Amino acid sequence: SHGCMPWHSFEERNIPLQTKDIVQAAGRVSLSRHTPKDGWEKIENVAKILDRDEPEWVAAPAAGSSVQFEPGLTAQLIDFGKEVVGQPIFDIENAQDGDMLDYLVCESLTGDKPDFGSSSNPFATLFGGRLILKNGKNHHELTLPWGFRYIAVIYRGRNPLKVSLSARQIWYPLDVTGSFQSSDQVLNDIWKMCVHTQRSCMVDAYTDCPWRESAQWWGDALVQAQNTF
């Protein structure tokens, strides 16, 4: 509540507002045509449902931010091309009342399979959720930023469904004035990766990895502030 620790009073924001750029998904990586096991509707942990279903991920690269679900197609893995720190946005067409769309995010793959861990060795932090759809078009944007690269979308309906994915990028509006150029392309790529990592760890505070936290630790701030300046 207002007035209690650690928020004794309101104060004026003393840093710029974060960015709100919309980034589109880059394309599909793989898909699974597995048959879901009974009882999935009542399980609240989406990760446990997908692990129990034992999906068989098969490479199916396709460019673009939209995917089409046909009958018999259960899950698709969508790639944003690089790490995103932002609010996932779902635009869905041709839904029926009560259709359910589950989703899970991750940062890495093993072959064409998303790295979610397993029920026997789960990740400590794993973000996902469920959308319960209405007839026709649906638009939903999450209210908190997540750190991720891939989104697995799981649909168990009987009707064709079109799903478009984007995200509202939430970064500190840093003016990047530093530059690096080498005749070695590997070094150039390392530089770009480092800049993107730094940006992804700068929101309202410095964080050490956007996929699992939103809190600033002084160890992170010490190193990252030196990087920034």
List, for residues 65-100, the tens digit of each pLDDT value.
Answer: 999 999 889 999 999 999 999 999 999 999 999 999
**What tokens does 66 get?**
């939209």
d(CA 119, CA 110) in angstroms, rounded, equals: 17
Q: Which of 227, 117, 109, 128 is nearest to 178 (CA)?
A: 227
pLDDT at 144: 87
Query: Looking at the predicted structure, is the pLDDT value of residue 17 above 90?
Result: yes
Tell me the average pLDDT across 26-45: 93
In order, the DSSP letters of 65-133 are SEEEE-TT--EEEEEEEEEEEEEEEEEEEEE-TT-EEEEEEES-EETTEE--B-SSSB-S---EEEEE-
Overall pTM > 0.85: yes
Instruction: Please check whether residue 165 is in contact with residue 151, taking contact to mean a CB–CB distance below 8 angstroms.
Output: yes
d(CA 99, CA 157) in angstroms, rounded, equals: 6
Query: Looking at the predicted structure, is the pLDDT value of residue 121 above 80?
Result: no
